[in-house]
Structure 1
C-alpha cells in the first residue's frame, strides 16, 4: 500500500533525527544563539523576565 506524501515527509524527518512538537503559547521568536564564553546565549525581551519559555533547536 503506497504511503501519502505527508507520511513520507514525516518519515524522512524522523530518519534525520527530527521530531515534531506541538506547543501552545503567547508569542514566538526565532533567534540565533550567540557565543557567550564556553556556552550559548539568547537575548529575550525584558518583558519576558520571570516568564516560562521553551527552547527548541531547529537545526
Structure 2
C-alpha cells in the first residue's frame, strides 16, 4: 500500500489510535459529532 496525499477542508481534527472491538476496530469521537459526517484516514501502513 503506497501513501497518497489527501487535501480536506474541515472543522476539527483529532488523532487517536484505533482500539479493538469485536471483529473490527473502534475510534471514539466527541458526543457533539454524533450524526455528523466524518472521514477516517489511515496514517500508518497495515502490516502483513
When Rg is computed on C-alpha atoms for both structures, the one with the higher figure is 1
TM-score of the two chains, using structure 1 as the length reference: 0.72
**Deviant stretches of 4+, over 4 Å:** none
1 or 2 for the larger relative contact order (CA 8 Å, sep ≥6)?
2
Gaps of 5+ in 2: none
RMSD value over aligned CA atoms?
1.0
TM-score of the two chains, using structure 2 as the length reference: 0.87
Gaps of 5+ in 1: 1-15
